[in-house]
Structure formats: C-alpha cells, structure tokens
Amino acid sequence: MLRFLTAGESHGQALVATLDGCPAGLALSPDAITRQLTRRQGGYGRGRRMAIETDRAEWISGVRHGVTTGAPIALIVRNKDWVNWQQTMFVEPSMPDGATGVVKPAVTRPRPGHADLAGAVKYGHEDIRDVLERASARETTMRVAIGSVARQLLERFGIRIASHVTTIGDVSIAPDRLVSFAEADALPDDGPLHCVDAAAETRMKTAIDVAGKAGDTLGGAFEVIVTGVPVGLGSYVQWDRKLDGKLAQAVMSIHAIKAVGLGIGPEVAVRPGSGVHDEILKATAEGVLPVRRPTNRAGGLEGGVTNGEDLRITGYMKPISTLMTPLRSVDLNTLTEEPAAIERSDVCAVPAAAVVAEAMVALVIADALLEKFGADSVEEIARNLAATSTAVAGRFHRTAPSA
C-alpha cells in the first residue's frame, strides 16, 4: 500500500524521497517533520557533520494547502555541506559554474564493517567514494522525513510511537526494567542518549567518551514502542504477510543494525513456555476485547498479527565502522596492508538509529493499517475502523467503546 524510494549521496546536492500510497485528506504538519529530523541529528556521540547540517524537508508534490491529495508525496532535504564537496562529487560536464571545495583523493583502503570492499567489487569501482557516499547512514534522513508522514497518519487514528536507548557498549539499563510507552514518550528530544535510567545514561556517556578518546566507536540497542495499535494488523496465513517479519526487515535494513528482537526477543530461547507466553485473563476494564494480558513478552504480535498490546521492537546496532584509530585493511590499488581509510564520522549513533527505527516502524504499521482499513482517504479509514470496532464488539455481545 505504502511504498517509498530514496535517492541522494551523503555529500551530494540533496537527498530526496517519494512516498506513494499516502491516503488523501491528511493534514500534514511541516513542523512535525522537522521535529523528527532534528531528533535524528541529535544524541551524544554524533560527529561534526551534524553541526554543519540543519535538516529541513520541503515537499514538492502530493500536498495542497497542507493536506495530502492521494498523489505521491515527494520530499527534498538539501545538504548544506554540498558547497564544500562540489568538486569531489561532480565531474564534467555537469560541474556547476563556480563550484567550490577541493577534489578529495580516491578512497582505496576499505573500512572493515562498511560496504566499502563488497560494494567496490560488486560495482567495479576504483574509488570507494562511489560506494560510501550512497552506503552512508545519511540516507536515513529521508526515511525519517517520509516516516514522519506515516507517523502523522497513524496519530490521526490514535497510534503513537516512541523509543528509548537500552544499551551503549557494555552499559545497559536493568534487564528486567520494563519501560512503558509513557516513559519513553516523556524523554526530552534534546536529551543526550534518550535513556530512561539517568545513572545508566551517565555511564553510557562516559563509555562514549572513552571510546572516542581511543579512536574507537560504540554500538548499542534501543527499543521502539507503539501504542494504540488495532487488533488484527498483519496475517498468519502467508509468510510474507506476517507483520513481525515485515517489522524485522524494516528495522534490519537500517545501517549497522545486526539483530532485531520482538518483545523479550532472544530471551525466548532460554525460558520455558510458562515464562514466555502471555496468559489470557478476563478483562476488568472496558476495551475493544473482553480479555486482558497480564504480561506482554510477545511484544504485541502473535502469529504475525497484532493482538492489541503495545508493539515492542528492539534493534541491536554494531559500532560505526569508521574508526579514527583504524583497523587493518588492504589498499586495493597496491595490495599492501595499510590502515583502513578514515572519513569524518560519529563515535556513537545509537540514539539516531532509534529515531530512524521509529520511522521505519511507522511506515510498516501505516502500510498494514491501510491494507486492513482501506487506502484511499483518511475518512474511508475512519469509517472502516469504526465498523470493525463495532463488529468485534458485536462478536463478544458488547457495545463498541466510543472512539
């Protein structure tokens, strides 16, 4: 239902994205997009590039007078740093008059962990810059911009998304600490690491300082929480309709993410069934379903279908692969062992990755919402949601709770 493509290089003129399938009738807030872009730029451990950029999205189609028309939405974010890179990023005949910046030497020493080596071999590039400019995580700017549109659609129907950082390097919040949506949502946008445990956050900052001083980098983990999700998104009937699979793919596609967990994630492998599955009890309060779940270890999905509990998705990020104290590599021109190339980079970007994951999750959930409740207009979705709510209530001989 919802599809998007991005284009753009890290130091190119601009980043662009097209979102296809957004229903008509959604009032879009540019400030809400800016807020998400600013959140993505933040976090303790980010590098100097973020002091150069002030990411702002302009929409150039699919919106009239602030309201979506149902046509594809195209967004553009201009790279401020472009002025310093025109000579490096453009070749004749497209070099603009008065281009500034110096021509950087070819990158020939691949960074272990980056797409450098595999990408250069795959596409036959002599200069690894042809790989790294597109493989760069700067691309996630557009996922966040487009994700903010999906997020505004979800918010229209009471579905909200937040995240928090659980781990940086060897520092984690207590493993049994269950963070509520409200707690994650209350974290300030400009906080250093978006961690709910202030003492752990201080230790995380120290760990980033230590890694940075050593020319090293740090990864970590974050949890995305989605609340207000209707029952029945996704399906168990076919492998490619399972929503857990779609969420895992979407989050795994973010740069440097090496594992994704739903609910208690890898813990399911070591606990007995009684410590994994969430019992079903009779409801004590009015809700869509006449039952309640005392725990949510499943993370809001059973059989690849949403069950009405909060969605909980954890992403595990490896340390960034540009090390200021470089790892060993081989110069692909001379075939001599040399330290890997150094590019300006971040020491830790886990808080930024969490914001990107929120965006990717928003896109997947919005897509599932459109699949189940109609895809053409916001009004149509509202009608179908209300009708389904009434039908579910009728199934249990109850009255639908008012929306």
Distance between CA atoms of residues 40 and 253, nearest Å? 16
List beta partners, residue 57: 77
From 137-145, 263-271, 276-284, 379-387, give the range in contact with ligand EPS by CB under 6 A.
137-145
Contacts of 146 (CB under 8 A, 6+ apart): 4, 6, 17, 19, 73, 75, 359, 363
Residue with the two structure tokens 């069934």: 273
From 166-174, 223-231, 340-348, 391-399, give the range in contact with ligand EPS by CB under 6 A.
340-348
Out of 213, 258, 271, 344, which residue is the one contacting ligand EPS (CB under 6 A)?
Answer: 344
Distance between CA atoms of residues 355 and 353, nearest Å? 5
Residue closer to ligand EPS by CB (options 117, 288) is 117
CA 364 to chain centre: 11
Distance between CA atoms of residues 364 and 356, nearest Å? 13
Which of these, 210, 242, 158, 397, lies nearest to 319 by C-alpha position? 210
Nearest distance, CB of residue 225 and ligand EPS, angstroms: 23
The length of the chain, given as a count of residues: 403
Does 49 engage in binding with ligand EPS (CB under 6 A)?
A: yes
CA quadruple 43, 44, 45, 46: dihedral positive or negative?
Answer: positive
Strands 257-262 and 291-292: what pairing? Answer: unpaired
Does 151 engage in binding with ligand EPS (CB under 6 A)?
A: no
Nearest distance, CB of residue 193 and ligand EPS, angstroms: 16
Total interface residues for ligand EPS by CB under 6 A: 15
Which of these, 220, 216, 243, lies nearest to 368 by C-alpha position? 243
Distance between CA atoms of residues 79 and 65, nearest Å? 26
Nearest distance, CB of residue 59 and ligand EPS, angstroms: 20
Say if residues 46 and 353 touch (Cβ distance below 8 Å).
Answer: no
Out of 6, 10, 86, 172, which residue is the one contacting ligand EPS (CB under 6 A)?
Answer: 10
Distance between CA atoms of residues 156 and 232, nearest Å? 18
Residue type, 313: I
From 136-144, 177-185, 222-230, 279-287, give the range in contact with ligand EPS by CB under 6 A.
136-144
From 189-197, 202-210, 224-232, 341-349, give the range in contact with ligand EPS by CB under 6 A.
341-349
Nearest distance, CB of residue 141 and ligand EPS, angstroms: 6
Residue closer to ligand EPS by CB (options 73, 128) is 128
Tokens representing 220 are: 């970590």
Nearest distance, CB of residue 346 and ligand EPS, angstroms: 6
Does 136 engage in binding with ligand EPS (CB under 6 A)?
A: yes
Out of 47, 72, 113, 245, which residue is the one contacting ligand EPS (CB under 6 A)?
Answer: 47
Residue closer to ligand EPS by CB (options 45, 299) is 45
Say if residues 186 and 174 touch (Cβ distance below 8 Å).
Answer: no
Distance between CA atoms of residues 375 and 381, nearest Å? 7
Out of 63, 107, 137, 142, which residue is the one contacting ligand EPS (CB under 6 A)?
Answer: 137
Nearest distance, CB of residue 348 and ligand EPS, angstroms: 11
Out of 322, 341, 353, 365, which residue is the one contacting ligand EPS (CB under 6 A)?
Answer: 322
Does 78 engage in binding with ligand EPS (CB under 6 A)?
A: no
Nearest distance, CB of residue 137 and ligand EPS, angstroms: 4
Residue closer to ligand EPS by CB (options 137, 392) is 137
Out of 17, 164, 345, 361, which residue is the one contacting ligand EPS (CB under 6 A)?
Answer: 345
Number of H helices, E strands in the chain: 11, 17
Does 138 engage in binding with ligand EPS (CB under 6 A)?
A: yes
Residue closer to ligand EPS by CB (options 10, 18) is 10
- Which parts of 185-244 interact with ligand EPS (CB under 6 A)? none
Residue closer to ligand EPS by CB (options 23, 319) is 319
Nearest distance, CB of residue 335 and ligand EPS, angstroms: 25
What is the secondary structure of 115-177 as a DSSP string?
A: SHHHHHHHHT-SSTHHHHHHHSGGGHHHHHHHHHHHHHHHHHTT-EEEEEEEEETTEE--TT-
Residues engaged in binding ligand EPS (CB under 6 A): 10, 47, 49, 136-138, 140-141, 255, 320, 322, 344-346, 352
